[in-house]
Amino acid sequence: MEDVLDLYAEPPDAKRPVVCFDESPTQLIGEVHQPIPARPGQLERYDCEYRRNGTANLFVFLDAHQPWRTVKITNSRTARDFAECMRDLVDLHYPTAETIRKHPRETAGRLALSGYGGVRSI
């Protein structure tokens, strides 16, 4: 934990940004029935029944020292998807950075594997 606090406490450095990364699978749901409209003294009500519309994966990046974040939504959660997100981070969002530092525990073994599957190593 101290490593993380030390990393976040360092002064901002544009050549060595600190980027946090997280990913989350998300279920996409829709309403089966129309909501019951609100009336005076009563909120709009929703039925608990829902329609499953598949899943998506959210890849979230944020800069620990700057007011910047981005979310990439993919249909799957594969090593290739992860590698493409890392490539976007390096090539699109931080093209002039010498090194992109991350939370020490994040993405532990994923970077080593993500060079496979048709995406160049980053």
pLDDT, tens digit, 9 for 90 and up, residues 78-118: 889 988 998 999 999 999 999 888 765 555 444 444 444 44
Is position 13 within any domain?
Answer: yes
pLDDT of residue 104: 53
User: Does residue 59 sit in helix, strand or coil?
Assistant: strand
Residue 16: C-alpha distances to residues 92, 94, 102 (Å): 15, 9, 10
CA distance 104 to 29: 34
Structural domain including 95 reads 2-36+58-113
Is position 64 within any domain?
Answer: yes
Largest CA distance in the chain: 60
Is position 44 within any domain?
Answer: no
For the four alpha carbons of 7, 10, 16 and 19, in that order, the dihedral sign comes to positive
Is position 46 within any domain?
Answer: no
Domains: count for the chain: 1
pTM over 0.75, yes/no: no
DSSP state of 66: S
Rg, Å, the chain Cα set? 20
Burial zone of 17 (CB within 10 Å; 0-12 exposed, 13-18 middle, 19+ buried): buried
Is position 103 within any domain?
Answer: yes
**Tens-place pLDDT, residues 25-72:** 999 999 899 989 999 999 999 888 999 999 999 999 999 899 999 999
Is position 120 within any domain?
Answer: no
